[in-house]
Structure 1
Amino acid sequence: MRNTGEGVSLLFVLRAALFAALASTAVFCAEPAKESTANSPKVTAVIQITHDGISKANLVSDESNLYVTESPAFGHLVTKLSLRNAERVVISGAFPDVQALDISSDRTKLLVSRLQGAAGENEFWTLPINAGLPQRLADSTGRYATWSPDNKRLAFVKGSTIFLANADGSAARELYTANGSVFSPRFSPDGKHIRFSIGNTVQNTTSIWEVGINGSHSHAVLEGWEHASAACCGNWTANGAYYIFQVTQTSPSNLTTLWAIADPNSSGKATPLQLTQGPISFGNALPSRDNRRVWALGVQPTGEAVRYDPGQQKFIPLLSGVSATDLDYSADGKWVTYISVPDGVLWRCKADGTEKLQLTSPPERAALPHWSPLGDRIAYVSFRPDKPSQIYLVSLSGGDAQAILPEKRGQIDANWSSDGTRIMFGYLHDAEDLNIEILDLKSRKTDVVPGSRNLFSPRWSPDGRYVAALSPDFTKVLLFDYKTNKWSVWLSEPAGGVSYPVWSADSKYIYFDDLVSDEESIRRIKVGENRAERVFKLEGIERYPGPFGLWSGRMGDGSWMFVRDRSTQEVYQLTLELP
Structure 2
Amino acid sequence: MPHIANGLIKFEKYEIDRARWQLSWRDEPLQLNRKTFDLLLYLIDHRERVVGKEELLQALWPEQFIEESNLTQHIFLLRKALSRHESGAKIIETVPGRGYRFGVRVEEEQPIQSLLVIEARESITRVTIEEETDAPDAYSGPLLDTSLLPVPVAGRVRRSSFWLVGASITVSFLAVVLLLRQPRPRIVDAVRLTNDGIAKHLIGYTEGIVTDGTRLIFMEKQDNQSMLAEVPIAGGEVHSRPAPFPDAAIADYSSVNHTLLIGSTLRTDDERPILAEALPSSQPLQVGELTGHNASWSPDARSIAVTKGRFLYIADADGSNERRLVSASGVVYSPRWSPDGRVLSFSENVGSNENRLWEVDATGANLHRLLIGNANEDQVCCGTWSADGRNFFYVVHGLVSSSIWVLPRRQKYSFFQEPKPTQLTVGLSDLWQAPLPSADGRALWAVGSHLRGELMTVNATTRQLQPFLGGVSAEGVSFSPDRSWIVYTAYPEGTLWRSRPDGSEKRQLSKSPLVARFPQWSPDGCTIAFMASQPGSPWRIYLVPADGGKAYPILEESATEGVPNWSPDGKQISFGRLLDFGSERDPNLTIEFYDLDSHSHKTLHGSEGMWTPRWSPDGRFLSAVTQDNRTLRLYDMQTQQWTDLASVGVNDVIWSRDSRYLYFDTFFGGDPTLYRIPMDDRKLERWADLRGFPRGGFFGPWLGITPDGSPLLLKDTSIEEIYRLNLEISN
- Does TM-score exceed 0.5, indicating one fold? yes
The residue number in structure 2 matching 1:505 is: 617
Q: CA deviation at 1:121?
A: 1.9
Q: Which among 328, 342, 352 is matched to residue 178 of structure 1?
A: 328
CA contact (8 A) 1:468 1:480 kept: no
Q: For residues 523 and 45 of structure 1, what CA distance do their matches in structure 2 show?
A: 52
Q: Which among 528, 532, 541 is matched to residue 667 of structure 2?
A: 541
The residue number in structure 2 matching 1:212 is: 361
Q: Which among 382, 396, 402 is matched to residue 510 of structure 2?
A: 382
Deviations 1:280-335 (A, max 9, x none): 111000011111210000112133546689999x9966627443212123445576
Q: For residues 494 and 578 of structure 1, what CA distance do their matches in structure 2 show?
A: 56
Query: 2:472 aligned with 1:328, yes or no?
Result: no
Structure with more helix by fraction: 2
The residue number in structure 1 matching 2:506 is: 359
Query: 2:406 aligned with 1:245, yes or no?
Result: no
The residue number in structure 2 matching 1:4 is: none
Residues 546-565 of structure 1 correspond to what in structure 2 (within 5 A)?
546=698, 553=704, 555-556=706-707, 561=712, 563=714, 565=716
Q: Which among 96, 119, 122 is matched to residue 273 of structure 2?
A: 122
CA contact (8 A) 1:196 1:210 kept: yes
The residue number in structure 1 matching 2:298 is: 148
SS for the counterpart of 1:26 is helix
CA contact (8 A) 1:347 1:358 kept: no
What letter corresponds to residue 505 of structure 1 in structure 2?
A: P
Deviations 1:513-540 (A, max 9, x none): x4x7232666565557766656653353
CA contact (8 A) 2:667 2:701 kept: no
Q: CA deviation at 1:106?
A: 4.0
SS for the counterpart of 2:225 is coil
The residue number in structure 1 matching 2:723 is: 572
Change (3 A) 1:358 1:524: farther
Query: 2:587 aligned with 1:477, yes or no?
Result: no
Q: For residues 724 and 636 of structure 2, what CA distance do their matches in structure 1 show?
A: 53
Change (3 A) 1:315 1:157: farther
Unaligned runs of at least 5 residues, structure 2: 1-19, 21-29, 40-55, 58-64, 79-180, 202-207, 579-587, 652-664, 669-694
Q: How many residues align?
A: 502
Change (3 A) 1:298 1:188: same
Query: 2:417 aligned with 1:278, yes or no?
Result: no
Structure with more strand by fraction: 1
Q: For residues 426 and 135 of structure 1, what CA distance do their matches in structure 2 show?
A: 46
Query: 2:448 aligned with 1:298, yes or no?
Result: yes
What letter corresponds to residue 725 of structure 2 in structure 1?
A: L
Q: For residues 546 and 606 of structure 2, what CA distance do their matches in structure 1 show?
A: 33
The residue number in structure 2 matching 1:166 is: 316
What letter corresponds to residue 261 of structure 1 in structure 2?
A: L
CA contact (8 A) 1:114 1:125 kept: no
SS for the counterpart of 2:510 is strand
The residue number in structure 2 matching 1:263 is: 409
Query: 2:195 aligned with 1:51, yes or no?
Result: yes
CA contact (8 A) 1:249 1:255 kept: yes
Q: CA deviation at 1:85?
A: 4.8
SS for the counterpart of 1:150 is coil
Q: CA deviation at 1:128?
A: 1.6
The residue number in structure 1 matching 2:170 is: none
Unaligned runs of at least 5 residues, structure 1: 2-10, 32-36, 361-365, 367-380, 391-410
What letter corresponds to residue 186 of structure 1 in structure 2?
A: R
Query: 2:33 aligned with 1:14, yes or no?
Result: yes
Change (3 A) 1:68 1:480: closer
TM-score under structure 1 length normalisation:
0.70
Q: Which moved more, 1:205-214 or 1:467-476?
A: 467-476
TM-score under structure 2 length normalisation:
0.57
CA contact (8 A) 2:447 2:721 kept: yes
Q: CA deviation at 1:185?
A: 0.9
The residue number in structure 2 matching 1:518 is: 628
Deviations 1:50-86 (A, max 9, x none): 1101121320113432112222237323233112352
What letter corresponds to residue 383 of structure 1 in structure 2?
A: K
What letter corresponds to residue 210 of structure 1 in structure 2?
A: E
What letter corresponds to residue 215 of structure 1 in structure 2?
A: G
Q: For residues 437 and 225 of structure 1, what CA distance do their matches in structure 2 show?
A: 32
Q: CA deviation at 1:161?
A: 2.4
CA contact (8 A) 1:326 1:338 kept: yes
Change (3 A) 1:517 1:531: farther
CA contact (8 A) 2:477 2:519 kept: no
Q: Which has the larger radius of gyration?
A: 2
